[in-house]
Amino acid sequence: MMDDLPKSTTVSLLVTLRLLTRNYRDFLLAPGTIVTFISGIMLVIAILNEPASLFTGSAPGDPVTCIYLASALVGS
């Protein structure tokens, strides 16, 4: 995918990414940011695993329900 981009665009994207990680390193490595990221990843996994359970109820022992619950507990 990066082969489709001109070299100058690729270099500027890498420089921008390097600057963002350097400038926001303390923020990105803060415990609250990491916990929020993990919670978001767990929520995405639950939604991708069973999208319908986001809008309908499911059994209490259902693994997707457990992932939603874990995501909520990690994020709070």
In terms of residue numbers, what domain contains 16?
2-75
- The contacts of residue 29 (CB under 8 Å, 6+ apart) are none
Q: Cα dist. 69→9, 63, 73 in Å?
A: 42, 10, 6
Alpha carbons 15 and 32: distance in angstroms, whole number: 26
What is the tally of structural domains in the chain?
Answer: 1
Query: In tens digits, what is the pLDDT along the chain, a chain of 76 residues?
Result: 455 656 677 778 888 888 888 878 888 888 888 888 888 888 888 778 777 766 676 666 677 777 777 777 776 6
Using alpha carbons only, give the angle 29, 33, 34 rounded to the nearest 5 degrees: 70
The model's pTM is 0.56
